Amino acid sequence: MTEEALPLTDRMRGRDWLMTQDWADDEIELALDTAKQLKKEFKTGVRTLHLPHKTIFLIFFDKSTRTRNSFEAGITQLGGHGHFVDSETSQIAHGESPKDMGIILSGYGHGIAIRHDTVPGEGQTYMRDVAQWADVPVINMQCDVDHPCQTLADLMTIREEFGQDLSKLKIAVSWAFAPSYVKPMSVPQGLIMLMTRYGMNVSLAHPPEYTLMEESMRLARENAAKSGANFEVVHSMEEAFADADIVYPKSWGPEALYGDPEAAMKVAGQYRHWICDEAMMAHAKQEAIYMHCLPADRGSEVTDAVIDGPQSRVYPEAENRMHTAKALMALTM
């Protein structure tokens, strides 16, 4: 007979999850503890029907694999239902306002989650506009500024690997070349903001054209000062990887060129040598782990030998996306 899940606190009911910076340290710890509990219950076949018959609207302005499926599977396992909404096939494409959508969808269900990540200056602003009018929690599934669902899962994965105290660890967050499309800045920005809060020494590496948003940099510096961590910016992947415990190389675009992908890819082409291969991994500690939010551009961002090798943690990291998504929905909806 399947056991029933342990009860969850109502402390965070109704709260939005728009940036990790919006939640206090103990609130993030609550989310991590809840994700850990839900993961254990999932593995042991415990029924976790914390949100019976509840509905969340999943609104996507961009393509998705892990984010969409982690939320759809997660809400199902919590006893609710996720409605997928493609912005291009909804009235959003015809200019429906965040106010109207927030009010109306609040009347239809119990939560709204949004992914709007490809245009700098738009995604986070749009989500906060929706949240201003919505009577239900709004969850950021990735915006231009932050990817708080991904970085929460990253933090969970790092804790599983290294334990609770991360204060002596070094993480290299590095740009890497990708030939596909101009990727958002939100993952590296989310990483530098969140990992510095937990006392991790963060080394951010990128070519000169790939600076991150100043507000994210400011928050990372402030968080590092509060936690006693070191936050540095270097322009060499080798330097960032040196003695690192965790390496997280991925591509992102130059902020000024998101409206001109052809020009952005010309800039990127100058830095094809920014790839995470076995020689690059040798600069990190012998026991260092490789992480990536996926999908990774194999052969450009990373070689098969690394992403499929013994130091890679991309699949446990991806799995934790569902458990952290479930925690956020279970706590807030």
Fold of 20-147+318-332: Rossmann fold (3.40.50)
% the chain with pLDDT above 90:
96
Average of per-residue pLDDT across 208-228: 98
pLDDT in the model for residue 302: 98
CA angle in degrees (0–180, nearest 5) for 191-193-196: 90
Question: pTM (2 decimals)?
Answer: 0.96
Residue-range domain boundaries for the chain: 20-147+318-332, 150-314
pLDDT in the model for residue 167: 95
Does residue 1 surpass a pLDDT of 70?
no
DSSP 298: B
Cα-based distances in Å from 177 to 101, 210, 244: 38, 11, 20
Q: What is the pLDDT of residues 259-316, one digit of tens each?
A: 899 999 999 999 999 999 999 999 999 999 999 999 999 999 999 999 999 999 999 9
Q: Please give the order of strands across the beta sheet that includes 111-116.
A: 81-86, 55-60, 111-116, 138-143
Please, which pLDDT band fits residue 214 given cuts at 50, 70 and 90? very high
Fold of 150-314: Rossmann fold (3.40.50)
Tokens, residue 95: 């200019």
Mean pLDDT computed over every residue of the chain: 97
pLDDT in the model for residue 2: 63
pLDDT in the model for residue 4: 77
Fold agreement (20-147+318-332, 150-314): yes
Tokens, residue 247: 């390496």
Side-chain-side CA neighbours of residue 150 (13 Å): 29
Q: What is the pLDDT of residues 105-157, one digit of tens each?
A: 999 999 999 999 999 999 999 999 999 999 999 999 999 999 999 999 999 99
